[in-house]
Amino acid sequence: MATTSYLVTVSGPDRVGCGAELWAALAQVTAAGGTLADVGQITIRGSLVLCADIVVPDHVTVEDVRRALQQRDLERDGLTAEVVRVNPEPQGAGGRLLVTLLAPQVAPAQLQRIFDGIASVGATCERIIHLAKYPVDAYELAVRGCDSDALRAVVAAAAQDVGVDIAVQRAGLHRRAKHLVVMDADSTLLQDEVIDLLAQACQCADEVADITARAMAGELDFAASLRERVALLEGLPESVLDDVRASLRLTPGARTLVRTLLRLGYVPAVVSGGFEEVLAPLLEELGVSLLRANRLEVVEGRLTGRVLGEIVDRAGKARALEAFAAEVGVPLAQTVAVGDGANDIDMISVAGLGIAFNAKPVVREHADTALSVPYLDAVLYFLGISREEIDDEALAPAESA
């Protein structure tokens, strides 16, 4: 049977019942073998745009559709309805890609550059969702009609030019499947560097800070530099670990990120070049059960200046992510790694989505995307989770045991 496609667009001041009237009219015109192919709606400040794509037998005309709409008295109180014949969507048009962009405030000029990039590779934007208005402005664009690598290249360049953070991912249900989200601790989950706080306690802060900076910039082997820094802590009383833990500051948004992940069934984890003795109690409080970190040797209540076992370095972080993914039954494509330093590069590279968080340039070069805002819960927007969902989770009562 030959068919025709019509796009019906209802626009104007939103009012109660207009959706029901539209569906009743379209039910009438599709009753003899037609189908509803697609629907889209947006309402901004009480102004409605509601679109329906229908496929009907060739004998159904534009006038037939308009007559059905008139019978339902849809066009009143300022609403208008437009019916146009459209070409059917071509077969093999390609899957959707999702472009997530955020900044302290997204301006029209920034969107122009992103959309110029989308158009330059022959793609179109089919849908825009405003994920968040605070503490950052975040949008998700559904884009169709191009190769993901080509799209990623042009929008990443545009984003860098106009100062927005951006990620390009494949659309699909996998984004709502269980994810493993692995975070670095120092300068990612935490605002602090634990080794620097310990160094302050033993009055060797300048020496340790210098070694830390060189290691995180990729100038020194992490394992060797860690041993060198820990050696400077020899003789510190074990009680200093409790003092340092009490002084730790979580990154803004860290609690919200972990709480939301847990409530949505995702699995948060921490893989750190820091120290288990300091991190484990804090993570237990947050509800994070997966931790891989270094261990300090303590003898007779004092640090010996040595590290126990295999050091969690750059390669060790990647191995830990893979081991955690296997443990919780999540494929690597559904893992997210977030870090800021050179020793996070392997972990970021092996994850399905690698995020450089306020990171050094060498880390950004290896990441799928980068966050330059100071809020760790912005990671959630790259998972398609809106601010409204985050706030709803925050207000929801705790689940019973």
Residues with catalytic roles: 184, 186
Please name the helix (run of DSSP H) or strand (run of DSSP E) that holds residue 299, with its range, or none: strand 290-299
Cβ-count burial of 195 within 10 angstroms (0-12 exposed, 13-18 middle, 19+ buried)?
Answer: buried
- Cα end-to-end distance, the chain, whole Å: 57
Locate the DSSP E strands across 1-112.
Answer: 3-13, 35-44, 47-57, 80-86, 96-103
User: Helix, strand, or coil here: 383?
Assistant: helix
Q: Identify whether the C-beta of residue 250 lies closer than 8 Å to the C-beta of residue 204.
A: no
Alpha helices for 103-147 (secondary structure H): 108-120
User: Helix, strand, or coil here: 263?
Assistant: helix
How many Å apart are CA 102 and CA 71, to the nearest integer? 45
DSSP annotation of 162 reads H
Backbone conformation region of residue 94, classed left if phi is above 0, alpha if psi is from -120 to 50, else beta: left
Please name the helix (run of DSSP H) or strand (run of DSSP E) that holds residue 70, with its range, or none: helix 62-71
CA angle 241-245-249, nearest 5°?
A: 150
How many Å apart are CA 205 and CA 289, to the nearest integer? 31
Between the alpha carbon of residue 193 and those of residues 110, 175, 208, 278, the distances in Å are 34, 32, 11, 11
How many Å apart are CA 42 and CA 51, to the nearest integer? 9
Say how many CA atoms lie within 13 Å of 306 toward its Cβ: 7
Maximum CA extent, the chain: 91
Both tokens assigned to 272: 């750190």
φ/ψ (deg, to 5) at 282: -65, -45
